[in-house]
Amino acid sequence: MAQRIVIPHVSRIEGHAKIAIQLNDAGEVNSAQLHVTQVRGFERFTEGRPYYEMPSITARICGICPVSHLLASSKACDAIMAVRILRRPNCCASCCTARSSSSRTR
């Protein structure tokens, strides 16, 4: 039988939130939603600001997860500008390693 699990008060975040989980008949997660139920008004700080300032502004909204906000905002800026990021982590890692090791040898 399908079941819905609701966690009405999520702690360890800035603000108020709840989690709703929908299980299917087999007891597996069918869907999960995080509902942030408190409006804090930070959106107003960003109105009229240049898009490229958003990552630095949004990273300061939450003291617990600034990196998550920074990455989400950066991805939104990429989408606004229709930027396609080439995802080649091995290449980037080797470039960073090569640069950091060459700077140490000087």
Count the Cβ atoms, other than its own, within 10 Å of residue 51. 12
Query: Containing domain of residue 15, as a range?
Result: 1-38
Total domains in the chain come to: 2
Q: Along the 106 residues of the chain, how does pLDDT read in single tens digits?
A: 789 999 988 877 666 889 999 999 999 999 999 888 777 777 788 889 998 898 998 888 777 788 888 898 999 998 989 888 776 666 655 666 555 555 555 5
The answer to whether the beta carbons of residues 70 and 59 sit under 8 Å apart is yes
Return the amino acid letter for 33: Q
Shared-domain flag, residues 88 and 49: yes
Q: What H or E segment, with its residue span, contains residue 103? A: helix 89-104
Token pair for 9:
């008060």
The answer to the question of residue 106 being in a domain is no
Shared-domain flag, residues 33 and 45: no
Shared-domain flag, residues 46 and 34: no
Distance CA(3)–CA(22), nearest Å, equals 6
Shared-domain flag, residues 44 and 84: yes
